[in-house]
Structure 1
């Protein structure tokens, strides 16, 4: 038996919970807590020896989230509202979507963004067009 395998076997009972994909929410929660601790320890230093463990656990958490906690797609109006809040904009700050009443109708869901508005918003916020579709 190699020294590496022997050392791993000696410590397996302590590290095993961190080195298996989650099979239920309890496993998932354990990995999320472990990842938080690891991120605090590594300070996101890519050269830290524990970053490979961060990558593994992060991938398993992302896979679990994708399968068990899928995110709903945001509508163009929801994205617009979010972008406005993030940039501290008002309805009058969007000349490419004017007048203000049109922006209000879009944000309330009574009107859809049109292609011209989507192109302008994508250019204005420097994001891909499909963000607003």
Structure 2
């Protein structure tokens, strides 16, 4: 699929999303706490309803959280 990138539409859409939800790469424990709280709120609404309009957002946010947890998991000897 060759989707054209429309930056004129993408930038304001991204800014609007960021003002409504703390979605970005997790850089700190504070970011982690904020995004996990957001994920938990999403899960309270969406639950396991694959037909819910925010279902894919749960998946994306969950992937961000999982990646952070994998990178920051304590190494056990």
Structure 1 length normalisation: TM-score?
A: 0.44
Larger radius of gyration: 1
Alignment RMSD: 2.8
Specify which structure has the higher proportion of helix: 1
Runs of 4+ in 1 over 6 A off after TM superposition: none
Contact 2:21 2:38 in 1 (8 A): no
Partner Cα separation in structure 1 for residue 74 and residue 31 of structure 2? 18
Partner Cα separation in structure 2 for residue 71 and residue 34 of structure 1? 27
Q: Indicate how the Cα distance of structure 1 residues 38 and 6 shifts in structure 2: closer, same or farther if over 3 A, else same.
A: same
Unaligned stretches of 5+ residues in structure 2: 1-5
Q: Indicate how the Cα distance of structure 1 residues 4 and 44 shifts in structure 2: closer, same or farther if over 3 A, else same.
A: farther
Which is bigger in relative contact order (C-alpha 8 A, separation at least 6)? 2
Count of residues paired in the alignment:
71
Structure 2 length normalisation: TM-score?
A: 0.71
Unaligned stretches of 5+ residues in structure 1: 73-133
